Amino acid sequence: MRRIPLLCVLALLGTTVLATPANAAPVALLSDPIYDYATAIRETVYVESPLDNDGDGIRDKIVADVIRPREAVAAGVKVPVIMDASPYYQCCGRGNESEKKVYAADGTVSKFPLYYDNYFVPRGYAFIAADLSGTSRSTGCEDVGGTAEVQGAKAVIDWLNGRVTGRNAAGAVVSATGWSTGKVGMIGKSWDGTVANGVAATGVPGLATIVPIGAISSWYDYNRANGMVNPRVSSVPSLHSLVNSRPSGTCSAVASALSSGHAASTGNYNSFWAARNFVPAAASVRASVFVVHGQNDLNVQGVHFGQWWDALAANNVPRKIWLAQEGHVDPFDFRRATWVSTLHRWFDYWLLGIDNGIMGEPMADVERAADVWQTSTLWPPSGTATANYVLQGTGNPGTLASSGAGSGSLSLTDAPSLSEANAVSSPTTARTGRKVYQTPVLTSDLRISGTPTITLRVRSSKATTTLTAKLVAYGTATRVNYRSSGEGISTLTTQSCWGSSSSTDDACYKDTAKVVSSAAYQVLSRGWMDGQHRDSLTATNPMNTSTYYTITWKLRPIDQVIPAGQRLGLVLTLTDPEFVTAHSTGATVTVDLAGSVLKLPIAPAGALAAPSALTAETPSVIYDGTVSPLAGTRFQ
């Protein structure tokens, strides 16, 4: 990457030089808050999309609300842009406190959600909060992961680089090339981060980095699971309705196309989903990628970071990853001080060209327990290898063995009312509809780092059935309670401030604490397969009731350590109504144990940096109730 001379950095950007004790050589540079936030330029630009998605004969206009340092213009200093493109700025709000855009009398934004503007504009960045097509003040229609959504956000980057036209509210052409370097970093949680993935997959020049947080990489895998519908999330048509801001009837054609394309009653993969799958386009990504994901995110599940990460790695995309123990939570709310510092250095490196050493640091930060993190030089760690575990015995429980072979057969009868809690708890108790296999008590820590797969040789009494597998750590421990209402965090009454404030936009946010509880087990990973989709996701193939089939599917990727003294368990069931639409056919499935195997990516001993408890940024709190369900289908 381009190196900026030290004197230029100090004079134009304002930086801090970090030094080690005893007058050692400088080790890093950081941009300083030298610009005045309160007097920053605020403007609204209507960027021309290449599409006319609402069919009115006029190209759609994407609203880019901009805030940038005024003094930089006077000094002739161009600045890079941090952008959060979102559908939520008016309907639902952003962040833990659901902040919305607030507008001044002249139509510009007087208060931006989140802290990105407060923190980074004084440090020599512009910030853009862009409304996705058909949301808030943008025209067009929101097509939920589709071409209009992605191309609209991409158009803002093209405008910053002088490739498309932007206008102000009066219709006058507005150019950004006089103040923008053209370099852009996209960031956002959930849908916002999903848009960043989609735009990066276009290979648009100027997009230097993306930071997708709890983001989707394939909309099929958000709404479906190997041929079955995911009942935990809002459907594509529902999401469109949630964020649509256009007058009644304007987007009826798009809404109708979404309803027919996503085919609510089927789990088939089709052209609709293919158009919303960014993974195959990873080879086009020119931006670096900083992935952040909760391993226990039951909304945007781990399949999204796992398959995206693997595709990026295969194409040598520069990348970094944080994996947390929380659910669908922003790192600002589970590791605030370290997150802001790391993000600062990440953007300084990729957008300002400051060689601060961040790319020479460990690739992965993984949370082991509440506020206890470990690092890995690479992820998955070098030396990670696949280990086979076989299923032995039909007792209660059976043995999950790392050597030998499986033998005999197991009969599973569908129990459609069996909850996950009843399926995985009390493993020595016989329960209809589930079978538990456990390792002996572990004599050393076992680290699973990557994507587990399960292969079962089965015969079904019906033409199809759901097949469900779950990995479980058995052993009482204090863990982050991702099933709490905050998905592992609790919002406190105190506040901390991150950046500069103005009379209309403060930089202060409520602090949070980890929610922990003592539990006898933790579900680490889940995976499902529809028997009739065993050969293909695009079409069904009913099972012959007299035939055995060897079926393999992936579980959700993880990086979890099962400590010595605990056991690793595999739980097999059929219907799993909490996670896939009840597909209960009343089947009885015979499992040939000799033809079945669990494959685990095991990291070698020594692949971990020593664990270190963080400085108490956020105290943990004990969850004082039973495990509660997540808060509905909230996507934000």
Which residues does the annotation mark as catalytic?
190, 297, 328
Dist. CA 11–CA 7, nearest whole Å: 6
Tell me the three-class secondary structure of 434-472, residue by residue: EEEEECCCCCCCEEEEECCEEEEEEEECCCCCEEEEEEE
Task: Evaluate whether 379 touches 547 at the Cβ level (below 8 Å).
Answer: no
Could you tell me the end-to-end alpha-carbon distance of the chain, in angstroms, rounded to an integer? 34
Q: How many residues does the chain have?
A: 636
Cα distances from 483 to residues 299, 471, 630, in angstroms, run 12, 17, 6
CA 135: distance to chain centroid? Answer: 22
Longest dimension (CA), the chain: 79
Q: What SS3 state is found at 238?
A: helix
Written as six digits, the tokens of 297 are 């995110």
Dist. CA 380–CA 364, nearest whole Å: 8
Instruction: Tell me the HSE value of 171 on the side-chain side, using a 13 A CA sphere.
Output: 0
Written as six digits, the tokens of 16 are 């801090």
Written as six digits, the tokens of 108 are 């510009």
Q: What SS3 state is found at 347?
A: helix
Cα–Cα nearest to 6, from 21, 33, 34, 28: 28
- Quote the Cα angle for 600-364-448, to 5°: 15
Written as six digits, the tokens of 286 are 């020119």
Dist. CA 490–CA 636, nearest whole Å: 17
Task: Evaluate whether 112 touches 126 at the Cβ level (below 8 Å).
Answer: no
Dist. CA 84–CA 297, nearest whole Å: 21
Close Cβ partners of 170 (under 8 Å, ≥ 6 residues apart): none
Written as six digits, the tokens of 143 are 């097509």
Cβ atoms within 10 Å of 610's Cβ, excluding its own: 6
Number of helices (H), then strands (E), belonging to the chain: the values are: 12, 33
